[in-house]
Amino acid sequence: MPDTTELEEFSEDFFQDIINESENGGWKEDIFFDKFADFLIDAGEFDEAVRSSYQPANGQMRVDGYCGDPLESRSTGDPDEPLTLGLIILDFHQGGDLETLGTRDMNATFNRLMRYLHSALKPEWRRSLEISDPGFGLADLIATRWSRITKIRLYLLTNKVLSSRIDGKTAGDFEGRSVVYSVWDINRLLTLNKAATGQEPLHVHFDEKPLHPLRALLASARDAENPVYLAAVPGTDLARIYDRWGARLLEQNVRVFLQARSNVNKGIKRTLESEPELFFSFNNGLTATAEHIETEMTSDGLNILSLDNLQIVNGGQTTASVYAAYRAGKDLSKVFVQMKLSIVNPKKAEDLVPRISEYANSQNKVSQADLFANHPFHARMEKFSRRILAPAQEGTFNQTKWFYERARGQYGDAQAYLTRGEKNKFLAEFPKNQKFAKTDLAKYAMVWTDKAYFVNRGAQKNFAEFAKDIAQRWTENDLQFNEYYYKTLIAQKIIWDATEKIIPQMEWYEAGGYRAQHVVLTIGLLAEAARQLKKKVDFERIWNAQSLDEPFRKAIRQAADAVHPVLMHPAQGYRNISEWAKQPRCWEAVKALHVVWDQDWLSKLISPREEWSRNRSSSRDQRETNGIEYTAAVVNAGPKFWKDVAQWLLDEDEGDEKERGCVSVAAAMPTKIPSDKQSAVIVHLMQRLAKAGCPYRLKI
C-alpha cells in the first residue's frame, strides 16, 4: 500500500490536473470521468466508458456513464452470448486533500445508481424524459438489451480514500441478474498507476499462497543465455495471477493494446465449461517471458518458485477466457494451460521480448495494426517531441515543447528523480497541458479524415483504425512522417483543445451534454468543408502561432451550431445519442450540412499544392535525417559486428550482391566508411533479415 505522503501528493496532482484542464473549458466532473476512465481502460477493467450523466434535483438517483453497448462487450462472436451491463457513478471530492469514503456513503451512492437502473426499466419513466436527455438514451439502451443481460457491474469512481474498514461489498442480484460492485478510490488508482508505469515490481511468487510451485521441464541447454522452460499452469493459478496483475502481464503482447477478439474464444469458452480436462490438449497455450527465475529440484522434478516481470506475449485470449471463467465461478480444477517460458536478460528484454512476441503471433493472422503499438512511427514522433521547440506565443519569450508519451508514465518518470528546481525547469519546457499519448494522437489525426466517426467509437477502436492507415502509409513511404507531419499533429491538438473549450460555452450546451461527441463532429465538419472546397487548413500557421485566431474560433462555433441538431436528433432506428454518434449514417448527415462559412476563415485556407510543397521539403529533410541516423547506427555497431553479419549472409545465402557489398564496406571500417546511401541499404537489409531469423540485430 502506498505511504500517506505519496498518496497525498498523487491526490493533489490528480486534482490539480483536473483544475488546470477545467480552466481551459469543460466541467470538472466531465474531466474527472474521462481521466479516471482512461486509466481503467488502459488496465483492461473495461473497454469503453461513455459519459452519460443523469442527476435529478432531488438527488434520489444518479448515473454518470456506462461501459458501452452491452452487445459490444461480448467476448465471442456468438449472437446468443449473455450480455454484461456496466454502469458508472462518480463521487468526486472537490479538493486535493484526502477524504475518506465510509460504508454508509458508499452504500448510498450505489443505491442511487440502482434506483436509476430500476427507473430505466419503467416505460412510463422513460417516456417522461426528453430524447435528448442522456438519462433517456442510456435507459432506452438498457431496456432494449435487458432480456439478454445476465450480469450487472456497478463501478464507483472516487478521488476519496475508501475506508480501511471496508473489505468489499457482497454481490447481489436484481430481477434475476447478478450484481457485482467495484469501487475504485484514489488509493487504488495510485497503485494502478504505479503498476502501469513499472514503478511496482511485477514479482510472481508461485511458492506463496494462494499459488503453488509450478512444475516445469528445462527445454534448452543448461548454460543457455536465454533458457527455456515448458510448464503446465493450473487454470486457477493463471486466473489468480491475472486477477492480481491484470493487463500489465500482457503489456508486450502485440494484440493486447487493441484487445482483439475473434471466434476462437467460442471454442475456448466451450472447452472450459464442458470439457475442462481436455483444455490442455485442445489449446495452443501461452508463450511467455520473464527476466529472472528461481527454481528448485525436488524428488518429483523441477519446480518454478518465482518469476520477475512475467510477460504473456502470445495467449492473451486464452488468459482472458480462463480469467472470465474464474470470475464467473466456474470449476477450473481440471484446467491446465501449457506454457513455453523464455528467461530473458533484462538488458536485452527491450529488444528480444517484442521479437518473441512477433514471431509467436506469426502463427496466427496478425495485421499491421496489431503490431502498431510497437511501431517505429511512435519512436519518431517521440524524438520530434523531445527535440522540436514550439514558437513562443505572442506576449512571451518562452519556448516550450510538446511531450509525446509513447508509453504511459513517461512524463512522470522523467520528473521522478529531479530536484524541485529541476522539476520546475522541466515543467517550463514541457507544460502539463502539452502532454499527449498514443490514443490522443490517433484522435487528433483521425477526426480530420473521412472516418471521423471512428473517434466516437472509443479510444481503442479508433486507434486500431488509425494504426491500419499509418502502418500501410509507413510501408509505402516513411518520409511523409516528417517534421511537417509532427507540427500538423500539434496544430490539430491545438484545434481539438480549443474546440473542447468552446463547446461548453455554447448556449445550447448542458452539463454532461455529449461534449466529446460534439467535439468530434464539429472538427470533422470543418475538415469536410475544406475537402469539399478542395482546400487545406493552414496547420503551419497554427503551429507558428501556437493558438487559433478569432476567425478560426468563429468557424468552430459555426460548425458546432450546425452539427448540434444532427447529433441530438438521431435518425429513425437510433434513440441513444452516444451510439448514434458512432454510426457512418450520422457522419453522412453531418457531411451533408450546408454552412455559410466565415469569409475570414475561408480566406486563410491554402491549396493542396501548397501543403504538398511544404511536406515535400520536410520529406527531403527527413531523408537526410534518416541518412545520418542510419550511418551512425552502422558505424556504432563496429567492424566485428559487420564481419559476423557478412559471414552469416554467405552461410545462409542471404542478400543480393549490392547488399553484401555494402556490408563488406562496413566490415572494413575504419579503412572504409559507408556512405549514407550504403548505410540505408544496410539498415533496410537488416530490417528485412530480422523477420527471417537473423541473430544479428542493428539498433537505430
String of DSSP letters for 468-530: HHHHHHHHH-GGGSSHHHHHHHHHHHHHHHHHHHHGGGSTT--TTS-HHHHHHHHHHHHHHHH
Residue 59 to residues 32, 154, 595: CA-CA distances in angstroms?
A: 20, 18, 41
Tell me the one-letter amino acid at 315: G
Ramachandran region, residue 59 (left: φ > 0; alpha: ψ -120 to 50; beta: rest): left
Tell me the one-letter amino acid at 125: W
> What is the arithmetic mean of pLDDT over 201-228?
87
Residue 408 to residues 241, 311, 481, 491: CA-CA distances in angstroms?
A: 22, 17, 22, 22
- Asked: is 4-192 a CATH 3.40.1350 domain? The reply is yes
Tell me the one-letter amino acid at 108: A
More confident: 487 or 76? 487
For residue 293, the cross-strand partners are: 307
- What confidence score (pLDDT) does residue 269 get? 72
> What is the arithmetic mean of pLDDT over 146-167?
90
- What confidence score (pLDDT) does residue 361 get? 55
Is the pLDDT confidence value at 609 over 80?
yes
- What confidence score (pLDDT) does residue 692 get? 67
Tell me the whole-structure pTM to 2 decimals: 0.72
Phi, psi of 388 (to 5 degrees): -85, 120
User: How far, in Å, CA of 338 to CA of 320, rounded?
Assistant: 15
The cell numbers describing 65, all together, are 456513464
Is the pLDDT confidence value at 265 over 70?
no
Q: Which long-range contacts (CB under 8 A, 24 or more apart) does 617-625 make?
A: 617/484, 618/482, 618/483, 618/484, 618/485, 619/477, 619/479, 619/480, 619/482, 621/482, 621/483, 622/479, 622/481, 622/482, 622/483, 623/479, 624/676
User: How far, in Å, CA of 142 to CA of 129, rounded?
Assistant: 15
- What confidence score (pLDDT) does residue 350 get? 56
The cell numbers describing 166, all together, are 471496508
Is the pLDDT confidence value at 656 over 70?
yes
Segment of 69-83, 190-204, 425-439, 551-565 carrying the highest mean pLDDT: 551-565
- What confidence score (pLDDT) does residue 353 get? 58
Q: What is the DSSP letter of 649?
A: H
What lies within 8 Å, CB to CB, of 112 at 6+ separation is 59, 60, 61, 62, 89
- What confidence score (pLDDT) does residue 549 get? 95
User: Which of 86-90, 470-474, 560-564 is predicted least confidently?
Assistant: 470-474
DSSP 3-state of 235: helix
- What confidence score (pLDDT) does residue 76 get? 45
Please compute Rg for the chain using Cα positions.
27
Cis peptide before 210 (omega within 30 of 0): yes
More confident: 646 or 265? 646
Residue 256: band (very low, low, confident or very high) from pLDDT cuts 50, 70, 90: very low
User: How far, in Å, CA of 684 to CA of 451, rounded?
Assistant: 33
User: How far, in Å, CA of 302 to CA of 227, rounded?
Assistant: 14
More confident: 245 or 634? 634
Cβ contact 260:280 at 8 Å = no
Average pLDDT value for the chain: 85
Q: What is the DSSP letter of 25?
A: S
Q: What percent of the chain has a predicted confidence (pLDDT) above 90?
A: 44
DSSP 3-state of 88: strand
What lies within 8 Å, CB to CB, of 52 at 6+ separation is 63, 64, 65, 66, 134, 135, 137, 138, 512, 578
User: Which of 126-140, 355-369, 466-480, 660-674 is predicted least confidently?
Assistant: 355-369
The cell numbers describing 560, all together, are 458546432
Phi, psi of 65 (to 5 degrees): 175, 180
Three-state SS for 120-186 is HCCHHHHHCCCCCCHHHHHHHHHHHHHHHEEEEEEEEEECCEECCCCCCCCCEEECCEEEEEEEECH
> What is the arithmetic mean of pLDDT over 434-445?
93
- Give residue for cell 494504426: 467
- What confidence score (pLDDT) does residue 253 get? 52
Cα–Cα nearest to 356, from 343, 375, 347, 367: 343
- What confidence score (pLDDT) does residue 199 get? 55
Residue 38: band (very low, low, confident or very high) from pLDDT cuts 50, 70, 90: confident
Is the pLDDT confidence value at 252 over 60?
no
- What confidence score (pLDDT) does residue 86 get? 94
- What confidence score (pLDDT) does residue 200 get? 57
Residue 616 host element (H or E):
helix 608-637
More confident: 250 or 536? 536
pLDDT in tens, 501-534: 999 899 998 766 688 999 999 999 999 999 999 9
Phi, psi of 574 (to 5 degrees): -125, 130
- What confidence score (pLDDT) does residue 630 get? 82
More confident: 329 or 369? 329
Q: Where in the chain is the domain with CATH 3.40.1350?
A: 4-192
pLDDT in tens, 330-370: 889 999 999 999 998 766 655 555 656 655 555 554 444 44
User: How far, in Å, CA of 361 to CA of 65, rounded?
Assistant: 35
User: How far, in Å, CA of 430 to CA of 422, rounded?
Assistant: 12
Residue 261: band (very low, low, confident or very high) from pLDDT cuts 50, 70, 90: very low
> What is the arithmetic mean of pLDDT over 673-694?
81
- What confidence score (pLDDT) does residue 349 get? 55
Provide the angle, in degrees to the nearest 10, between the axes of the packed helices 676-690 and 657-667: 110
Residue 158: band (very low, low, confident or very high) from pLDDT cuts 50, 70, 90: very high
- Give residue for cell 457531411: 591
